[in-house]
Amino acid sequence: AYEGYHFSHESELVFDAVEIHYSNLEDWFEEKAPNPTITRDPETRKVSHVAISRTSPKGYVFSFPRFDLKFSFRYESKNNIREASLTLSRVAQFSYPSLCSIETIFDDEICLRNFISLGLGRSSYPISITLTSSNLTETKFGIVSLIPIVAHVRFENIHESIEYIHPFKMLFSFEDIQDKFSEIYRLWIDKYDRLIPTIHSYFAALESPSEYSIDRFLSLTTAVESYHRRTHAGLFLPAEDFESVEATMKETIPPHLPADMKQSIEGRIHYFNEVSQNKRYKELIATYSSDFGKEALVLLEDSKRFIALVLDTRNFYTHFDGQLEGKAATGLDLMVLINKLLFVLDLAFLREIEISGDQVIALLKRTSKYQFLKYYRKWHPDYKFL
């Protein structure tokens, strides 16, 4: 829904600027709190002056092929006879060289939102979205100004997300990438469409309630598989070379089999050229080791054991084969496995935005996201899997 102007047709929803206040954006920028001061008379000790002050934060402007992106800020003050407050809000502002459809603008908004969420380690949501168009103006007291159009978008978890996020809980903050933000975010934009399946499954797991640990786990295995498919060949033979192999294999299917069984076998043969899930994980871990160094992978500990447990657990919770029940992770083991999969995916995203190996190691040492992985064995030495 849109507030501020009556649009008679969807085609009229074109704008050339938008301002978005994202939840926790202030945390991502590591903004400092206002400083309240109380001055007392040195003799009587009575309060003589009270003030709330702060140094205004810095604004940032970055240019990309389709738009300019500015990180600015807004202040809101409130007071009555008993109390006063000063609230700082960080906002992201997109400006376009010409009018754009609302779909294009929301695509850009979601792309930025997911990038901020990746850094925060928790989903961020638009608290407010205000659009303007150079075609929509109003005149008040002889002054011509743009008409602000407020877009009302509802999100289920927005109130939970506003809780303060400490920098130690983030994967990275704006300050961590400030010097290279233009290059890093350009990479994110360029690769975003290719990474969408991975991003969706990743955040589905991140936002899923902890009691739904099986769903979180399966979403993460889907994210890992989709990432490998989008970034690695994943085939034993080039597709054109496999065509003749596939045709030969289909010719060997006994003709007397039921039609639906033959169709099922033919469908499976089509995927015989794809590498196994085991190989997908091995290739990803080898890639990370090459790009970041073995020190970055220390949290995985025994990678062979990790991969085997992921696959056994995935197969059990996908098919519920009774023979695999004793091999699947449950309880604390499943929680540890989920966090190791999140770790694998965080490395994937850091790799895609070309964070250096040294900085990756520094970020992993700082964040508390995975610190418990260093201590769980010490606390629970008898857990059978990990």
Tens digits of residue pLDDT in 252-311? 889 888 988 988 888 888 778 777 889 999 999 999 999 998 888 888 888 999 999 999
Helix (H, G, I), strand (E, B) or coil at 22: strand
Helix (H, G, I), strand (E, B) or coil at 144: strand
Who has greater pLDDT, 129 or 38? 129
| Residue range 131-145: mean pLDDT, rounded | 90
| Residue range 234-249: mean pLDDT, rounded | 80
Q: Quick one: pLDDT band at residue 156, thresholds 50, 70, 90?
A: low
Tell me which of 89-93, 101-105, 191-195, 239-243 is least confident. 239-243
How far is the CA of 26 from the CAs of 90, 129, 137, 277, in angstroms? 5, 16, 31, 40
Helix (H, G, I), strand (E, B) or coil at 239: helix
How far is the CA of 372 from the CAs of 2, 5, 48, 82, 260, in angstroms? 45, 52, 49, 44, 50
- Asked whether the beta carbons of 337 and 219 are under 8 A apart, the reply is no
| Residue range 174-192: mean pLDDT, rounded | 97
Specify the pLDDT at position 163. Answer: 84
